Amino acid sequence: MIASTPPTPYYAVIFTSIRTEVGEGYEATAGRMADLAKEQPGYLGVESARNEMGITVSYWKDLESIKKWKQNTEHLIAQASGRNKWYQQYMTRVCLVERDYEF
């Protein structure tokens, strides 16, 4: 589903990843992080797709909201698990969305 976002400007966090073969606990943790992110002040929505490479784009009101999400205790634990067992490689990009349009 395509996220419904407010008028620009807002921020996008693009998380691109390549998984390892280890899957134990991944789905449950990913689901929990999606639910937890929705509870965070400034959260606007998310879009995600996975094949050989995964791309998740979350949308946020401002940089402060992104910073607080990154520092969330439960999210920090999930990040450590990702680095230690679930991800072979990942990249996070934080972008200002200055313009958007849709069809």
Round to whole Å and give the CA distance between 55 and 15: 6
Per-residue confidence (pLDDT) for residue 41, from 0 to 100: 98
Which CATH number belongs to the domain containing residue 24 in this structure?
3.30.70.100
CB 55 within 8 A of CB 49: yes
Round to whole Å and give the CA distance between 81 and 12: 23
Q: How confident is the prediction for the chain on average, in pLDDT?
A: 97
Residue 68 lies in a domain: yes
User: Which residue, chain included where needed, has tokens 């807002």?
Assistant: 10
The pLDDT tens digits for 6-57 are 999 999 999 999 999 998 999 999 999 999 999 999 999 999 999 999 999 9
The pLDDT tens digits for 56-80 are 999 999 999 999 999 999 999 999 9
Round to whole Å and give the CA distance between 79 and 62: 21
pLDDT band at 5 (very low <50, low <70, confident <90, very high): very high
Domain that holds residue 67: 10-97
Number of domain units in the chain: 1
CB 48 within 8 A of CB 57: yes
Round to whole Å and give the CA distance between 29 and 6: 28
Residue 21 lies in a domain: yes
The pLDDT tens digits for 76-92 are 999 999 999 999 999 99
Residue 35 lies in a domain: yes
Round to whole Å and give the CA distance between 11 and 9: 7
Residue 2 lies in a domain: no
Residue 55 lies in a domain: yes
